[in-house]
Amino acid sequence: MTTTEPVRKRHWIRNTVIVLAVLVLVVGGIAGAYVLTLSRSFDEGTEKIEEVFPEEATRPAAPEGPAASAQNILLLGSDTRGELTEDLDALRGQRSDTVMVLHIPADRSHAYVMSIMRDSWVDIPGRGKAKVNAALAYGGVPLVVQTVESLISARIDHVAIIDFEGFKGVTDALGGVEIENPIPFSPTHLKGAYFPQGPQTLNGEEALAFVRERYAFADGDFQRARNQQIYIKAVMKKVLSANTLTDPGRLSATVGAIAPYLKVDEGLNSSYVGQLGLELRSIRSEDITFFTAPTAGTGTAGGQSIVNLDWSRMPLLQEAFRTDTLGGYDAGAQALQ
């Protein structure tokens, strides 16, 4: 595949970057003999979010028993169209382009990544019905947390916000990644490029074009989400391979490429990530399940296009989050088919 023009970066490729960043750091990035070096890279590179959680009285009850040690990490991206500023108050007025929840069960045997479609029509506390991506504009990170906690009926333990600039660096730090492309297409934003059907290795610039494309597909955002999940799985397969985990230089380069573009809450530091990484050291790419919050098609509201959530299935999902039983929830049925 050949390219003739650099990719013009867009805010909406953050969907892939966020989950990629946190999964690399938590599942594969901080482990084994490299804990100290990689932890230092993480703490020195990331910036901290000061105001994260809503008022305690508005939050779901803290889990008890075995489920208490499960973790929910909110993965968030905003459409600032540039680097995240040091002052996160600047994000107010912007819409979040990405909302994902990374669930790590108490037994640390698996990881689940749930995408919430950005146009999902939900109740935003104090604001009424709106697209889920409006919560950031209305009330900053705490309102996003409150909205998602209301949606999943469970607490968020940590938050990570990503700037997309680290994406190409991560891909290239891994020496490219091999994906299995289901639908051939010519990307809109990388003129002269073509993605044939089947296996192919992408560099950072090509990967950006692959995960951001929506106009080439009949169902737009839905196929884009499928392609993003294809790419994330391919990255995790490479990150969790022996060639990467036993190569200090490659592992350090991967973490170093991600960290400068992350903003995290104070508790999501190297100590937390390091411990969690060690607990998840046996996880491999096949142990990570990607799915979407259940949807019931698209529609319109107030003159805008929306995604309708399937509220008949939401109680099962909420119960699975509350009781740390996502393994029994039929996530496969909620995949972006």
| Sequence-distant (≥ 6) Cβ neighbours of residue 108 within 8 angstroms | 279, 280, 283
Q: Using alpha carbons only, what angle is made at residue 37 by residues 84 and 246, rounded to the nearest 5 degrees?
A: 105
Q: 3-state DSSP helix/strand/coil percent for the chain, to nearest 5? A: 45, 20, 35
Q: What is the pLDDT along the chain (337 residues), one digit of tens a residue?
A: 544 333 333 333 343 444 556 666 666 544 444 555 566 667 777 788 889 999 999 999 999 998 999 999 998 865 444 444 444 444 554 555 678 899 999 999 999 989 898 889 999 999 999 999 899 889 989 999 999 999 999 999 999 887 655 567 678 878 899 999 999 999 998 999 999 999 999 998 898 888 888 899 988 878 887 887 888 888 888 877 767 766 767 777 777 777 777 788 999 887 787 778 778 878 887 888 888 899 998 999 989 999 999 999 999 999 999 999 998 886 555 554 4
| Sequence-distant (≥ 6) Cβ neighbours of residue 111 within 8 angstroms | 23, 27, 102, 103, 104, 280, 283, 287, 288, 289
**Looking at the DSSP assignment, which residues form a beta bridge with residue 334?**
none
> Looking at residue 228, what is its pLDDT?
79
Nearest to 25 by CA among 11, 46, 50, 9: 46
> Looking at residue 212, what is its pLDDT?
80
The structure's pTM equals 0.82
Q: Using alpha carbons only, what angle is made at residue 8 by residues 187 and 94, rounded to the nearest 5 degrees?
A: 110
> Looking at residue 30, what is its pLDDT?
46
Between CA 24 and CA 2 the distance in angstroms is: 28
- In degrees and rounded to multiples of 5, residue 49 shows phi and psi of -95, 125
Between CA 281 and CA 262 the distance in angstroms is: 22
Tokens 């309708």 locate to 308
Burial environment of residue 321 by CB neighbours within 10 A (0 to 12, 13 to 18, 19 or more): buried
CB burial readout 254-277, b (16+ within 10 A) else e: bbbbbbbbbbbbeebbbebbbebb
Q: Domain limits of the chain?
A: 11-172+243-327
CB neighbours of residue 113 within 10 Å: 24
> Looking at residue 279, what is its pLDDT?
84
Question: What is the CATH code for 11-172+243-327?
Answer: 3.30.420.590
Nearest to 145 by CA among 167, 165, 116, 119: 116
